[in-house]
Amino acid sequence: MSFQRLYEDKVSEDKLYDIVSERQDYNEAIRENNTYPYHYFLSPLRHNLFNWYPFKKDGNLLEIGAGYGQLTSLFTRKLDHVVAVEDSQSKCEIISKRAEEATVLVSDFNDLKVDEKFDYIVLCNAFEYAKSFVDSENPYVDYLNYLKGFLKDDGVILIALSNRLGLKYFAGFKEEHTDQLFSGINEYSNVDYVQTFTKTELSNIINDAGFSNYKFFYPYPNHEIPETVNTDKLINEIPFTGVWRYFDDRISTFDEVKLNLTLSKDNLLQYFANSFLVEIRASDRDYPSDNIDFVKIGADREEKHNVYTIIWSDGKVSKTPVTEKANEHIKRMYEGSKYDIGKIKCLDAELRGNSLYYDFLNQKSCEYILLDIIAENDKDKFFEFIEDIHDALFYNSFESDEYATEEFLKVFSVKSDIKFHCHEKSYIDTILGNMFIVDGEFTVIDYEWILDFPVPLEYLFFRVFNYHFFSNELIREFTNFEEIFDHFNMDIEYLSLFKEWECSFLRHIISRPIRTFSQILPFEDIYKTKQLQKDNNLMRKELKNKNKLIEKKNKELKKKDNEIKSLLNSKSWKITKPMRKLKSVLKK
């Protein structure tokens, strides 16, 4: 096969081989080579795409285009038998080192040397290249038909790829396969080795290949390092409002969060999602994933806190540990759900095995209520609403300057003796997205961070907004901490202390890889740059024309000069007499 897939080159491959062979810490390797391709190949956050998926534990899986094994090790943990296929020996050696339990085969993707059928066939960033290795008029349809021969009767093909009309491309991200702006939007003009598809185009390919049972998932902010996975049922009900933290340099043409919210109101987000994960089923029977409506992943946490959240179609929400180390965290959540915080209620929850379940609240969270108020530009209404939150949080609290106990400092590190309000138990995560109004009372879900010791409520009130200030430009443009603190007569000097506590708390729970050093160039600057280039081009053109004119005049002068010399040198008396006379006059 003569094509190069995402970020693959010989230099990166050699470095990856050394990193994997020496069993270096991947986060440290990313720190030393902090560009997006190394996040793509090494970050544990890549597993977010499938760590929630209901694979059969006793099933088998065929991974086509396994790259450098960035997903293979996850598959070996979740299934009994995994076969990974790549087209070069060097890639297969890296995969074998990263996923020792997998069977790794060197093979062309259209000439698979396997003699078994599989429960799952996975293609992540591979299917879009089918036109490079399938010689036919309909390479994508024909390749799906080819893969059918390796599926069990109830098997599944899982394809993850970008949407060529993904909102991020309109907003200034380069198309990853071509490293150009707007390649997919322009239908890959002059690109003959790869293409991605709109939702309709991909659906037509699947239908033309004879599949009638399939489901679209929408990983956000993309399928490479997703934080949420949505479905057609909830994509417009729970639009993504987060911040994409890992990327190459980009320009910025508009605010994606604002447009995401606008498109969600018109029920259009499924067509402009950045990525697709499509589950293509071999039979018409029901599948476990039918009941999954939404997934939120917390894989950048410490392993002991690492859980994923699923909203199920039966109206329940579950929180499940990613590994056994997080089982205790789930149990603490269950115990914490039995308590109220001031007048803020905790939604009832139950344990089922190692998972926590509670009811899905099919209504707007306080985050979206506030965003609606901000859209109305109503400051009075905004402060009335957050006054209600403040009063509910501080209800029945006590003042103390002795909260900085040994337990407190293990989590928050920084000691303080400022007198603040407290409760005996503390619910840390009273952020707006976790808070609802149920029967007239503020009610929280997600009880992950209920601590058995006092934590200042002023800090918790700061946390109500801090996450949203970071992740949502709409809130940042509408208000700021200075205004909020002033409204509630809180000393703005507390802000630096609260930020220190926040950093300590996040260090306590999160094991986040370093983020890429990336530049975001405002679209106006791109325009100015292009305009400057245009002006310079006009100046150069004008100068070139002037130089041509000067050159022309010089030629004419030279011609005249030669004519004069010719006359002066002539021996004809009649012709040269006037010239000699003129020459004599000039000499005088």
Residue 489 burial by Cβ neighbours in a 10 Å radius (0-12, 13-18, 19+):
exposed
pLDDT tens column, 184-242: 999 999 899 999 999 999 999 999 999 999 999 999 999 999 999 999 999 999 999 87
| Dihedral of alpha carbons 551, 553, 554, 558, sign | positive
Token pair listed for 554? 């010089």
pLDDT tens column, 521-540: 665 555 454 444 455 455 55
pLDDT of amino acid 567: 57
Q: How far apart are CA 35 and CA 31, in angstroms?
A: 9
pLDDT of amino acid 537: 52
Q: Are 514 and 30 in contact (CB under 8 A)?
A: yes
Q: How far apart are CA 100 and CA 72, in angstroms?
A: 10
Token pair listed for 121? 């066939």
pLDDT tens column, 422-462: 999 998 888 898 899 999 999 998 788 888 899 999 999 99
CA-angle at 558, arms to 554 and 563, nearest 5°: 150
Inter-CA distances, 442 with 18, 182, 430, 445, Å = 53, 45, 10, 10
Query: Can you tell me the mean pLDDT for 331-340?
Result: 88
Q: Measured in whole angstroms, how far is the alpha carbon of residue 234 from the centre of its chain?
A: 19
SS (H, E, C) 51-110: CCCCCCCCCEEEEECCCCCCCHHHHHHHCCEEEEEECCHHHHHHHHHHCCCCEEEECCCC
pLDDT tens column, 117-150: 999 999 999 999 999 999 999 999 999 999 999 9
Token pair listed for 104? 């790794």
CB within 8 A of 217, min separation 6: which ones?
229, 230, 231, 276, 277, 278, 279
Adjacent-strand bridge partners of 295? 229, 310
Q: How far apart are CA 462 and CA 440, in angstroms?
A: 23
Token pair listed for 135? 């010689």
Inter-CA distances, 252 with 86, 174, 179, 338, 470, Å = 36, 11, 16, 46, 18
Helix (H, G, I), strand (E, B) or coil at 571: coil
Residue 549, pLDDT above cutoff 60: yes
- For residue 558, the number of C-alpha atoms closer than 13 Å in the C-beta half-sphere is 6
pLDDT tens column, 232-268: 999 999 999 877 777 777 888 888 888 998 999 999 9
Residue 31, pLDDT above cutoff 80: yes
15: nearest Cα among 7, 99, 73, 44: 7
Query: Can you tell me the mean pLDDT for 320-333?
Result: 91
Inter-CA distances, 70 with 47, 63, 92, 160, Å = 8, 11, 12, 14
Q: How far apart are CA 62 and CA 437, in angstroms?
A: 46
List the strands of the sheet with 435-438, edge to edge.
Answer: 345-346, 441-444, 435-438
Q: What is the DSSP letter of 282?
A: S
Helix (H, G, I), strand (E, B) or coil at 121: strand
Helix (H, G, I), strand (E, B) or coil at 518: coil
Q: How far apart are CA 190 and CA 211, in angstroms?
A: 31
